[in-house]
Amino acid sequence: MRQTTTAAWIAATAATALLVTGCGSSGSDNEPEKAAAPRVDGQDINAHPPTDLRQGGTLKVAISQWITQYNINTVDGAQGDAQEIAKTVLPDLFDSDAKGAHHVNPDFLLSAKVTSTSPQTVEYHLNPKARWSDGRALGWRDFRAQWQALNGTDKAYEAADTSGYDQIAEVGQGGDAHSVKITFKSPYADWQRLFDPLYPAQYIDTPKKFGASWAEKVPVSGNAFRIGRYDKTAQTITLVPDPKWWGAKPRLDSVTYRVLDFPARTDAYLNKEIDYTTALLPEDYKRLVKAPDTDIRRGARWDEVHITLNGGRGPLKDLRVRQAIQHAIDRKGINQAFAQDLSFQLKPLDNHFFMPNQQGYEDTTGGYAAYDPDAAKKLLDAAGWQDNGEGKPRTKGGKQLTVDYVLSSGSTSAQLDQAELVQQQLGLAGVKVELKKVPANDYFNEFVNKGNFDLTSFRNVDAVYQTMLNSTFQQPQGDNLFQNFGSVGSPKIDALLKKAGGTTDTAAAAKLYNEADREIWRLGHSVELYQRPEILAVRGGLANYGAQGLADVDYTKVGWLKK
């Protein structure tokens, strides 16, 4: 069994730029030389064979909000913490290694392969030992129910992402009772990302069950761990080994997730309330690096920080206003402010689909993300917003050009600093930005997921399959925003992404993704800032856990070293 980070689309909030006076490089001769960023397959997990680990112990982990939905195929369930827990207790079919390559998880699959290309057909051979916690064997009916819920034909399901599933023609039994045959209408390159994790048919086979059965609970599990206790008062969720598990016995006695705002995590780690935390921000790093029995572990994760623009309401409905905001935001200044005290190079990000250390990466901005205050002013003039002089909001029809920037109350000081820096930058262009702090438990469910913002900033992580990002950029359908919370899209983007997903030649697919990305930048969907470094403080005795990079966690191998 393993914990995948591959599907963890959206982490709770962004770790973002530190506000400084002046955004340019200092150019100081005393500035320390920065080390290169970790390589693409970089990871640091204190790897050990399970025989080196003692039996027992608890892993204590911080999460950003109480989990209200454990079906990760819904919009609310797509939140990163919910995905981590769901993937730990449900059947998880494929493993990702440090290079991002995918392999069958033998606890659930004996094999999975393409058996025909015309039409594309995939056959899964399930491990006969694999069972749901209610005793039923995993089977083709579970796959069929998941496909029917996620293929987009029944809008009542309000699936967060239909890509891939909408290209399947049929799901049925394969050669025997433990086989599943998937037939596609058209080729789909990333077929391994589908059905991972797998959900039990009887709890998703109607639109009502699809959401209600997974609200604040997991009705049936099927992995090495199950949920032992939910404590909403203490804001903790505890996982324990499932005694019915057929695979290698986990070393840990439990994993406890506790809701903690980001600013509280360094103190919580130092007080031994949690066993790892980010050490990215300089003020945290300086305290954590001195902590006893602590490793600073570094890796290269697919992890981007961006600002989402909401084209579905208010002034940002106007393309010219969105483009003006892109030109008014000084990305280089924000990145330099954040990077000034980092120990290694920060990778600027000019692409929505690929990280700078990934094959396929190229600058797709097309000039739309260039810091150009004059261009911003001309676009706002063209949009009819009257210039009232430096430092004053523009007006049209008696109304000020005002947008809100929504933040979680659990944001770090750096997140607030970034928002204030953006507020200052846009203010110079005549755009008034009102910072709006909302409760941490409501940030995604009530604001981001429902498009209740003008500007906001969070992270997309671990999109090692490019098709995982389709729902971030596809056009919404009615009230279903998918993951496109700012409602900025076009038929052209949808067509290019669909074509890319059906292209099995990786170089040709990359060209299509990059072509789509040029249109995404032109439409002012979101402003990419940088690839976020992975720097963690982890208990020294904790093995096979930490800075995973592109790899997944095998929780049966996570544990504490023998003394």
Q: What is the pLDDT along the chain (563 residues), one digit of tens a residue?
A: 323 332 333 333 333 332 322 233 333 334 345 666 556 567 899 999 999 999 999 999 999 999 999 999 998 998 889 999 999 999 999 988 887 788 999 999 999 999 999 999 999 999 999 999 999 999 999 999 999 999 999 999 989 999 999 999 999 999 999 999 999 999 999 999 999 999 999 999 999 999 999 999 999 999 999 999 999 999 999 999 999 999 999 999 999 999 999 889 999 999 999 999 999 888 898 899 999 999 999 888 888 999 999 999 999 999 999 999 999 999 999 988 887 777 666 777 999 999 887 889 999 999 999 999 999 999 999 999 999 998 899 999 999 999 999 999 988 877 888 999 999 999 999 999 999 999 998 999 999 999 999 999 999 988 888 999 999 999 999 889 999 999 999 999 999 999 999 998 999 999 999 999 999 999 999 999 998 888 899 999 999 999 988 888 999 999 999 98
Residue in 347, 526, 547, 552 with CA at minimum distance from that of residue 464: 552
Instruction: Check residue 10 and give its pLDDT.
Output: 33
Q: How far apart are CA 264 and CA 39, in angstroms?
A: 30
Asked if 37 and 534 touch (Cβ cutoff 8 Å), the reply is: no
Residue 135 burial by CB count (10 A; 0-12/13-18/19+): exposed, middle or buried?
exposed
Phi-psi region of 210 (alpha: psi -120 to 50; beta: other; left: phi over 0): alpha
Instruction: Check residue 41 and give its pLDDT.
Output: 62
Instruction: Check residue 14 and give its pLDDT.
Output: 33
Torsion, CA 122, CA 128, CA 131, CA 136, rounded to 10: 90
Asked if 362 and 455 touch (Cβ cutoff 8 Å), the reply is: no
Instruction: Check residue 40 and give its pLDDT.
Output: 59
Residue in 525, 533, 531 with CA at minimum distance from that of residue 366: 525
First-residue to last-residue Cα distance in the chain: 25
Report cis status (omega within 30 of 0) of the bond before 197. yes
Nearest 5°: the CA angle 247, 250, 256 is 130
Q: Where are the beta strands (DSSP E) in 439-532?
A: 455-461, 526-531
Instruction: Check residue 38 and give its pLDDT.
Output: 59
What does the chain come to in residues? 563
Residue in 405, 406, 380 with CA at minimum distance from that of residue 393: 380
Instruction: Check residue 343 and give its pLDDT.
Output: 66
What are the Cα distances from residue 512, in Å, to 18, 194, 228, 465? 35, 21, 45, 14
Asked if 544 and 57 touch (Cβ cutoff 8 Å), the reply is: no
Phi-psi region of 272 (alpha: psi -120 to 50; beta: other; left: phi over 0): left
Q: How far apart are CA 8 and CA 461, in angstroms?
A: 6
Which residue's structure tokens are 């925003």?
481
- Name all domains of the chain by residue range, CATH numbers in brackets: 10-15+42-91+217-301+533-560 (3.40.190.10), 96-212 (3.90.76.10), 305-531 (3.10.105.10)
The residues with which 181 forms a beta bridge, in sequence order, are 123, 172
Instruction: Check residue 6 and give its pLDDT.
Output: 29
Q: How far apart are CA 124 and CA 130, in angstroms?
A: 13
Residue 400 burial by CB count (10 A; 0-12/13-18/19+): exposed, middle or buried?
middle
Q: How does strand 254-259 pair with strand 58-63?
A: parallel
Q: How far apart are CA 146 and CA 143, in angstroms?
A: 5
Tokens of 238: 């505890």
Q: How far apart are CA 316 and CA 321, in angstroms?
A: 6
Asked if 393 and 432 touch (Cβ cutoff 8 Å), the reply is: yes
Q: How far apart are CA 369 and CA 527, in angstroms?
A: 7
